C-alpha cells in the first residue's frame, strides 16, 4: 500500500493533515501551533520522500526524518511535522487491518482511561485563539493568552474564576475525578508579573481553589497550570500558597529550559510537579526523569513525534516510577493519540480533555463524537485512530489548502 497524496489545511493554530494511499484508505493526523511552517516542511521537503513509499513502514519513515532533522536543531516545526504524519500512518495501519490503534500497540492494559477537565471553553480552543485588536484586525493569540470567555454552559474558563464551586460540583456529578485551571495567567501578563507577585494578588487569584476545597473537600483533584510564565521568586511564592490546597500537581510554573533549576524547584516547592507538554523530544524527558525533576511527566502526542514516540516516552518513564499524563487542549487527533497510548500502556494516570471541545468544537472538525463516560475514556472501537476530518475542509477553495501528489 503506497502513499499517493498528502493534504494539509491550516485553521488558526491547527494543522489538519490527510494521507491518501493507492488502496483508497485515508489517514488523518494533526499538530498545533504555527501550522503554515509545518505545512511548508511537509510539502516543500518531506512529501518528496514519502510519495510512492509504503504507508505501513511507519518506523522507517519516522527514523529517516528524525535522524536528519535533529541535525538541524529540529525540535520545532520539524518534529511537529513528523508527529502529524506519524498519527496519520498509524490511522492507515489500523484501518488496513480493521483494528483500533491501541490493539496494534499490544492491546488493552485497562478497560478505561481516566480524564480530568481543563478549564477551556468554546472561546479557548484551537479554533478560537484570535481576537480583534483596537483597529478591528484579527490577531492571533499566543498559547497561555486565551480568552476567559463569558458566562454560559461549558464556558469553564469563565466558570473557574466566577462560579468555581458550582463548576466543581457539576464535574463531580458527571463522574470527573480531577479539574485543572490556569488562574495565574492574568498575573503573569501584568507588568513585571513573571518577576514579582504580591501575596495578596496570588491569594486572590487562587481563591477559587480554596473555595472548592472548602465546599467539596477532596472529592475532586485540583491541578494548576502556570504555562511556564514565572521566574524563581514568584514561583516559590505560588508554591507556598498552593501547599494548603494539596493539588494533584502544579504544572509548568517555571519556564522549562533549565532542568537543574526545575529539579531544585521540585525539591523545594513541597507540591507535586508535572512537566511538560513543552518538551518535544524523548531526550528532554530522559533528562527530566534522570534528574528526578518531576512527579508526573506531561506529553503532548503531536509535539513529541506522534503515537510512535509518545508510546516510547511513556514506556521510558516506567522504570523511574513516574506516571505520564497526556496533554490536550489543541485538537481531536492529539486527544485520540493520547487515548490509544493510554489504553495500551498502563503508565498513563490521566488524559487531559476539555468539555467544550468534546461537546462543541471538535464536532465541527471530525466525523465522530468523542465521549467521556463517568470521567473516563473507553477504548475507541473504530478501526484506526477512531475519527476522520470532515471532508469539506480539504478543498481547493480553502485558502490554506496544500496538496502534494
The nearer residue to Mg ion, 86 or 225, going by C-beta atoms, is 225
Which residue, chain included where needed, has cell 466558570?
Answer: 159
How far is residue 165 from each of residues 141, 209, 214, 291, measured CA to CA in Å?
29, 9, 9, 37
CB of 19 to Mg ion, least distance (A): 29
CB 302 within 8 A of CB 30: yes
The nearer residue to Mg ion, 143 or 363, going by C-beta atoms, is 143
The nearer residue to Mg ion, 30 or 225, going by C-beta atoms, is 225
The nearer residue to Mg ion, 155 or 328, going by C-beta atoms, is 328
Taking the CB of residue 401, how many other CB atoms lie within 10 A of it?
A: 16
The nearer residue to Mg ion, 7 or 185, going by C-beta atoms, is 185
**Candidate ranges 171-179, 225-233, 237-245, 303-311; the one touching Mg ion (CB under 5 A):** 225-233
CB of 384 to Mg ion, least distance (A): 28
**Candidate ranges 154-162, 224-232, 380-388, 393-401; the one touching Mg ion (CB under 5 A):** 224-232
**Candidate ranges 118-126, 221-229, 333-341, 373-381; the one touching Mg ion (CB under 5 A):** 221-229
Which residue, chain included where needed, has cell 473555595?
Answer: 211
Give the dihedral of Cα atoms 342, 344, 347, 352; nearest 10 deg: 0
Q: How many secondary structure helices (H) and strands (E) does the chain include?
A: 15, 15
CB of 129 to Mg ion, least distance (A): 15
The nearer residue to Mg ion, 296 or 333, going by C-beta atoms, is 296
CB of 93 to Mg ion, least distance (A): 30
CB of 60 to Mg ion, least distance (A): 32
CB of 100 to Mg ion, least distance (A): 27
Single residue of 91, 156, 225, 300 touching Mg ion by CB under 5 A: 225
Angle at 228 between CA 227 and CA 231, to 5 degrees: 135
CB of 335 to Mg ion, least distance (A): 14
Name every residue whose Cβ is closer than 8 Å to that of residue 217 and which is 6 or more positions away in sequence: none
DSSP E strands, 221-334? 221-225, 249-251, 273-275, 296-299, 324-326
Number of residues that bind Mg ion (CB under 5 A): 1
**Candidate ranges 110-118, 137-145, 217-225, 318-326; the one touching Mg ion (CB under 5 A):** 217-225
Cβ-proximal residue to Mg ion, closest one? 225
**Candidate ranges 22-30, 115-123, 165-173, 218-226; the one touching Mg ion (CB under 5 A):** 218-226
| Residue 30 near Mg ion by CB under 5 A | no
SS3 56: coil
The nearer residue to Mg ion, 225 or 309, going by C-beta atoms, is 225
CB 284 within 8 A of CB 317: no
Alpha-carbon Rg for the chain in angstroms: 21
**Candidate ranges 2-10, 11-19, 166-174, 219-227; the one touching Mg ion (CB under 5 A):** 219-227
Cα-to-chain-centroid distance, residue 230: 21
Site string for Mg ion, 273-302 (x = CB under 5 A): ------------------------------
Angle at 33 between CA 393 and CA 95, to 5 degrees: 50
**Letter string b/e over residues 265-279, b meaning 16 or more CB atoms within 10 A of that residue's CB:** bbeebebbbbbbbbb
- Please state, in angstroms and rounded to a whole number, the distance separating the CA atoms of residues 266 and 263: 5
SS3 384: strand
Which residue, chain included where needed, has cell 498502563?
Answer: 346
CB of 334 to Mg ion, least distance (A): 13
Handedness of CA 88, 90, 92, 98 (dihedral sign): negative
CB of 211 to Mg ion, least distance (A): 22
Which residues lie near Mg ion (CB under 5 A)? 225
Amino acid at each position: 500500500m503506497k502513499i499517493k497524496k498528502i493534504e494539509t489545511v491550516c485553521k488558526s493554530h491547527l494543522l489538519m493533515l490527510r494521507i491518501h494511499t493507492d488502496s483508497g484508505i485515508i489517514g488523518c493526523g494533526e499538530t498545533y501551533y504555527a501550522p503554515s511552517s509545518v505545512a511548508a516542511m511537509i510539502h516543500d521537503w518531506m512529501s518528496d520522500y514519502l510519495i510512492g513509499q509504503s504507508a505501513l513502514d511507519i518506523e522507517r519513515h519516522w527514523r529517516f526524518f528524525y535522524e536528519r532533522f535533529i541535525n538541524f536543531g529540529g525540535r520545532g516545526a520539524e518534529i511537529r511535522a513528523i508527529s502529524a504524519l506519524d498519527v496519520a500512518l498509524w490511522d492507515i495501519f489500523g484501518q488496513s487491518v480493521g483494528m483500533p490503534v491501541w490493539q496494534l500497540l499490544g492491546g488493552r492494559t485497562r478497560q478505561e482511561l481516566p480524564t480530568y477537565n481543563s478549564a477551556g471553553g468554546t472561546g479557548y480552543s484551537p479554533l478560537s485563539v484570535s481576537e480583534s485588536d483596537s483597529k478591528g484586525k484579527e490577531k492571533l493569540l499566543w498559547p497561555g493568552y486565551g480568552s476567559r470567555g463569558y458566562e454560559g454552559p461549558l464556558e469553564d474558563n469563565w466558570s473557574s474564576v466566577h462560579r468555581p464551586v458550582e463548576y466543581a460540583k457539576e464535574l463531580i456529578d458527571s463522574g470527573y475525578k480531577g479539574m485543572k485551571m490556569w488562574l495565574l495567567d492574568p498575573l503573569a501578563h501584568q507588568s513585571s508579573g513573571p518577576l514579582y507577585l504580591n501575596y495578596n494578588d496570588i491569594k486572590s487569584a487562587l481563591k477559587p481553589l480554596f473555595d472548592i476545597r472548602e465546599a467539596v473537600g477532596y472529592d475532586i483533584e485540583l491541578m494548576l497550570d502556570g504555562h511556564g510564565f514565572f521566574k524563581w521568586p514568584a514561583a516559590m511564592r505560588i508554591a507556598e500558597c498552593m501547599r494548603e490546597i494539596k493539588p494533584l500537581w502544579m504544572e509548568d510554573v517555571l519556564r522549562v529550559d533549565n532542568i537543574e533549576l526545575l529539579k531544585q524547584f521540585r525539591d523545594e516547592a513541597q507540591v507535586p510537579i508535572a512537566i511538560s507538554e513543552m518538551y518535544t523530544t524523548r531526550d528532554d524527558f530522559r533528562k527530566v526523569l534522570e534528574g528526578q525533576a518531576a512527579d508526573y511527566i506531561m506529553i503532548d502526542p503531536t509535539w513529541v513525534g506522534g503515537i510512535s514516540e509518545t508510546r516510547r516516552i511513556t514506556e521510558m518513564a516506567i522504570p523511574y516510577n513516574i506516571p505520564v499524563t497526556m496533554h490536550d487542549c489543541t485538537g481531536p487527533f492529539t486527544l485520540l493519540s493520547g487515548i490509544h497510548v493510554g489504553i495500551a500502556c498502563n503508565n498513563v494516570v490521566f488524559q487531559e480533555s476539555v468539555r467544550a471541545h468534546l461537546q462543541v468544537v471538535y464536532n465541527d472538525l471530525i466525523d465522530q463524537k468523542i465521549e467521556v463516560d463517568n470521567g473516563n475514556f473507553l477504548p475507541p472501537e473504530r478501526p484506526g485512530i477512531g475519527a476522520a476530518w470532515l471532508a469539506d475542509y480539504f478543498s481547493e477553495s480553502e485558502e490554506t489548502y496544500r496538496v502534494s501528489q
